[in-house]
Chain A
């Protein structure tokens, strides 16, 4: 069992303006660079603490937003590669659907893998809808571009005998020969995320680690689609729990009242993070024609469910709703342990827990205390926890 500590590196003061949007068009005048520097240093300190405590680390990136200052995640990732000692370094995600230059991506990631002496996990994503406006990448055909970029990066990382040629639909290179080559062989582990069964099956076929975000007790259908895909390319074998990851918001404390106070501060992320001018939320071609037809009819798919099948709105749900749907793990260490293991039992096996243990206004002291408890009182018990057998789940 691995637990990855995660913060979006927010600039929380931007939440104080009740009129504006937090993403894409929030003027950066609202960002004081001195405050931004203090925040970066603080978040990095929390990552270093998490490393000392035996947690792993997850970074992500978003663009033109106060919710996440890591607009170029490779910078924080590089600092972590040198400054941390043991932690796996998961970038989830690296939005290769937007990147015009996958050669640069391969070079950056290989360099991070070398400096960290083989601790990089490469989470490739197509990128969230509202970031096609900032990047100007065409949302039409993004998955084709994503897979070509992926194929190129893997080819660049696994070719060691001099330059190769790449002239395809989206990218053109004639002399590809990256230095350094990655530490991990044949290449750092590949992760990705999805919310669709079709993509889950594709990830299973490739045997990549699939991380699911925020679907709570609707997650198993995605895991099962992955298992089907995995079995189809692995002689019927079932994937181990290490092929699955789940991201939840997180807060713990010695007593429940304090844990919930912290939980409310972290939950502010979900309640406001999607504050985006409507036209940027669904760029053309990002969703399929069929999905767009449903949206045009006013039908929005339910995403987050409790164990009893109750639908939760992640923006308006109460803290208890968020806990019931595993959008958040929150409570005393005992309560958190039970919430996590109940969920693992439900999924049929999952041994990578990604926790947003810092969000919104949760301060350094509370964050440090929360991740210390996580590492000292929850992680050791989870390492002893016996994962359910996936084979029986797949047969069910």
Chain B
């Protein structure tokens, strides 16, 4: 690994963010950025479609008891967009390669929303390097009938409505684009485009995934922000019901992004799960 540029596009050294590394990784010739922080058992955090903010408090929270690796997906933020990548399946294989490349063993795999979908797609393929799985307000399957909209159409709503539906505290989603640094603005624009590239149609799900979830035979925890109005709690419970032995827990005062609404509680639940304690 080498020190690289993070989502804000500025060179960040360890002097600025102690005990952390902002790394540029190259996997199969594809360069991505990642936050690396903390020591201990490996924890791979896969971000939602809104991207990864290297200053988010949840990163320190998770890294306090684990070796956190939080990559920015190909096509998002400042990571390369490989021309051939257009599906979550591509991202799942990419991250399985990353686990191999970094020789991670006994990994705790955590995914939020779109990141949860990627994590589920990885786990149905291989859990050789994954010890346990956490899916937080994950998309990825369809549970309702053909005329039921399981997942709110985020591309058919203004940003204000998105924030109100997605966050328990919608102020967390507000961005001042006019004041934003160019590099951050570029990352935000790329995040929106990349989300559509991977999840436009079938919308936010893989019709094949539901029938493959039984293959996941590692401890699995669903963490569900109970104020989410992008997804419903019954959707999450149906998803959990398809993975043998999966546990379903709600997170109070959290929406679609529980890691942002309740970073401490989110980290605490994951640490407890990693350490085999009941939360």
Listed in ascending order, the chain A residues whose CB lies under 8 Å from chain B are 133, 136-141, 277-280, 283-285, 289, 292-293, 296-298
Q: How far is the CA of A366 from the CA of B48 in the complex (A)?
A: 56
B178 touches which of A138, A141, A298 (Cβ 8 Å): A298
The secondary-structure label for the interface of chain A is loop
Q: Assess the A297–B193 pair: CB atoms within 8 A.
A: no
Q: Which among B193, B196, B200, B201 is the interface contact of A289 at CB below 8 angstroms?
A: B193
Count of B interface residues, CB-CB < 8 Å:
21
Q: How far is the CA of A141 from the CA of B158 in the complex (A)?
A: 23
Stretch at the interface among B13-21, B97-105, B180-188: B180-188
Q: Tell me the minimal C-beta distance from B75 to chain A in angstroms.
A: 9
Query: B190–A279 contact, CB under 8 A?
Result: no
Q: Is B90 an interface residue (CB 8 A)?
A: no
Identify the closest chain A residue to B190 (Cβ): A289
Contacts of A278 in B (CB 8 A): 158
Which residue of A136, A293, A298 is within 8 Å of B201 (Cβ)?
A136
Question: When the two chains form their complex, are residues A289 and B189 in contact, meaning their CB atoms are under 8 A apart?
Answer: yes
Partner of B197, one of A137, A140, A279: A140
* B208-256 CB contacts (< 8 Å) to partner A: none
Contact B197 A138 (CB under 8 A): yes
Beta-carbon contacts under 8 Å, B166-206 to A: 177-178, 180, 182, 185-186, 188-190, 192-193, 195-197, 200-201
User: Given the complex of chains A and B, what is the CA–CA distance between A205 and B162 in angstroms?
Assistant: 43
Q: Which single member of A140, A293, A298 contacts B200 (CB below 8 Å)? A: A140
The answer to whether B156 has its CB under 8 Å from any CB of chain A is yes
A140's contact among B158, B177, B188, B193, by CB below 8 Å, is which? Answer: B193
Which residues does B use to contact A, with CB under 8 Å?
Answer: 86, 155-158, 177-178, 180, 182, 185-186, 188-190, 192-193, 195-197, 200-201
Which 7 pairs between the two chains have the least Cβ-Cβ distance? Answer: A284-B196, A296-B177, A138-B200, A292-B189, A140-B197, A285-B193, A289-B189
Chain B residue contacts of A289, Cβ below 8 A? 186, 189-190, 193
Once the chains bind, are B195 and A284 in contact (CB under 8 Å)?
A: yes
Give bound CA distance, A34 to B230, whole Å. Answer: 40
Q: What's the minimum C-beta distance from B10 to chain A, rounded to whole angstroms?
A: 17
Contact B196 A139 (CB under 8 A): yes
- Docked-complex contact A141 and B185, CB < 8 angstroms: no
CB of B197 within 8 A of CB of A293, answer: no
Q: How far is the CA of A139 from the CA of B199 in the complex (A)?
A: 11
Contact A297 B178 (CB under 8 A): yes
Return chain A residues, CB-CB under 8 Å to B189.
289, 292-293, 296
Which of B158, B186, B188 touches A279 (beta carbons < 8 Å)? B158
The distance in angstroms between the C-alpha atoms of A278 and B159, with both chains bound, is 10
